[in-house]
Amino acid sequence: MLNHPELVREATRDRVLASMAALGYVRNEAARHLRSGSTRTLAMIVLDAWNPFFADVARGVEDIAVAQGWTVLLANSHRSTEREALYLREFAERRVAGLLVSPHADLAASLQALRRGGIESVLLDARASDPEGLSVSVDDVEGGRLAASHLLGLGHREIAFGGDPATVSHVRDRLEGVRVALRDAGLPGDVSVLPAPDLTVEGGAEVGRQILGLPQSRRPTALFAASDLVAMGALHELVRAGWKVPEDISIVGYDDNAFAEHVLIPLTTVRQPAYEMGRVATEMLLGRLEGRPITPNHLIFQPELVVRESTRVLDQ
């Protein structure tokens, strides 16, 4: 693809870059743009941009950012530590002004380094361990407790949890909430965990197949799925096998994503204020970029139970 003049120009370029590096020069397009009044850029790195939960978060981010004249670039880490690091480096090199990250790895050291280099950041859907950092998260233990308390109140005792606590801390926290609810109700025993490989519809189908594979005596009367997508996948698999929901099994999801009320059986679920989280995170980040003090700098939203048609009182 390179012809001779191109090679010559690239050699010149390399010399300029080398001398710039020697001078300790760091290109800063963002600052230049800020001064010229043209593009001002934020970047967002999410675990899975195609999960409707992150779509809602991102909508909130964009609504605030765009209204204030910022552009937003998005990247998908796909829950890969390597890709996450790659995008962090890429956005740092491209000198975006600020980053919004739903982290996979522990990014405290990386984000502190970026901050020293003039790039501010806010963690989305996770608590920053850096006391100076910014973060917006949801109390997932409380969310799990809400889901389980609802099911316990309907008389369910054989509750299965659809999700793998080994994957992400959110899943661990939601499961912990179930255990809190059991303890609060003075109930013995433990919840049975049916691991979903990830929080997707396909992961939920896997949970559904695990339920279908259990002997009659060990079948749960209720499923708390670690996300709405998992609930949808499990629901679909069970209905295809002839089960009726909620008659044969009650199902609770998590997120209240844009599709939860449109599903075959509209989902009872735990609502995370995804859109508001995106808005608030962006306001915090832009506030810090403008040098305003941000208090509190770690914001924790409370989830809410939304009761629809996928849960009902257990038949005696």
Scanning 165-173, 242-250, 255-263, 277-285 for contacts with its own copies by CB under 8 A, the matching segment is: 255-263
Scanning 14-22, 145-153, 189-197, 298-306 for contacts with its own copies by CB under 8 A, the matching segment is: 14-22
* Cα–Cα nearest to 140, from 74, 201, 53, 206: 53
Residue 291 gets the label, from left (phi > 0), alpha (psi -120 to 50) or beta, of left
* Cα–Cα nearest to 179, from 155, 145, 151: 145
Q: Cβ of residue 70: shortest distance to its own copies, in angstroms? A: 10
Q: How far apart are CA 150 and CA 310, in angstroms?
A: 12
Of 195-224, binders to its own copies (CB under 8 A) are 201
Q: Cβ of residue 81: shortest distance to its own copies, in angstroms? A: 14
Q: Cβ of residue 156: shortest distance to its own copies, in angstroms? A: 24
Cis (ω within 30 of 0) for the bond into 195? Answer: no
- Applying CB under 8 A, does 18 fall inside the site for its own copies? no
Q: Are 45 and 87 in contact (CB under 8 A)?
A: yes
* Cα–Cα nearest to 190, from 204, 209, 176, 211: 176
* Cα–Cα nearest to 253, from 221, 226, 222: 226
Instruction: Write each residue from 38 to 67 as x if it is in contact with its own copies (CB under 8 A), else as -, in one continuous string.
Output: -x-x-------xx-x--xx-xx--x---x-
- Applying CB under 8 A, does 269 fall inside the site for its own copies? no
| Residue selected from 64, 75, 99, 151 as contacting its own copies according to rule CB under 8 A | 75
Q: Cβ of residue 241: shortest distance to its own copies, in angstroms? A: 15
Q: How far apart are CA 41 and CA 60, in angstroms?
A: 16
Task: Name beta bridge partners: 161.
Answer: 193, 224
Query: Parallel, antiparallel, or unpaired for β 268-271 and 304-306?
Result: antiparallel
Q: Cβ of residue 102: shortest distance to its own copies, in angstroms? A: 15
| Residue selected from 64, 72, 99, 245 as contacting its own copies according to rule CB under 8 A | 72
Of 107-146, binders to its own copies (CB under 8 A) are none
Q: Cβ of residue 39: shortest distance to its own copies, in angstroms? A: 5
Q: How far apart are CA 300 and CA 101, in angstroms?
A: 16
Of 273-312, binders to its own copies (CB under 8 A) are 289-291
Position 130: which residue type?
A: D
Residue 162, classed as helix, strand or coil, is strand
Summarize as ranges the residues that interact with its own copies (CB under 8 A).
1, 9-10, 12-14, 16-17, 20, 23-29, 31-32, 39, 41, 49-50, 52, 55-56, 58-59, 62, 66, 71-76, 78, 83, 86-87, 89-90, 93-94, 201, 232, 235-236, 258-259, 261-264, 266, 289-291
